[in-house]
Amino acid sequence: MKQAMTLNEKQLKILLAYTATRRHAARDRAIVMVSYLAGLRAKEIAALTIDNVRDETGIIREEFVLMPEQTKGRKSRRVFLSTRLRKELDAYIKGTKLHSRNLSLFQSQKGGSFSGNTMCQLFLDIYAACGLDGASSHSGRRTLLTALAAKGVGVRVLQEIAGHSSIAITQRYLDVNDAQIRYAIEQF
Domains of the chain: 9-140 (1.10.443.10)
Q: How far apart are CA 183 and CA 177, in angstroms?
A: 10
Q: How far apart are CA 95 and CA 101, in angstroms?
A: 16
pTM for the model: 0.89
**Confidence bin at 141 (pLDDT 50/70/90):** very high
**Reduced to 3 states, what is the DSSP secondary structure of residue 2?**
coil
What pLDDT score was predicted for residue 43? 96
Strand-pairing partners, residue 113, are: 107
pLDDT > 80? residue 40: yes
Q: HSE of 134 in the Cβ direction (CA atoms, 13 Å)?
A: 9
In 95-138, which residue ranges form alpha helices assigned H by DSSP? 116-129
**Confidence bin at 1 (pLDDT 50/70/90):** low
Tell me what the pLDDT averaged over the chain comes to.
Answer: 91
List Cβ<8 Å contacts ≥24 apart for 154-158.
none
Tell me the percentage of the chain whose pLDDT exceeds 70.
Answer: 97
- C-alpha distances in angstroms, 68 versus 32, 41, 71, 77? 23, 14, 5, 8
Q: How far apart are CA 68 and CA 89, in angstroms?
A: 23
Strand-pairing partners, residue 49, are: 104
Tell me the per-residue pLDDT of 78-102, one tens digit each, with 9 for 90 and over: 999 999 999 999 999 998 877 666 7
Of the candidates 58, 62, 34, 33, the one whose C-alpha atom is nearest the C-alpha of residue 48 is 34
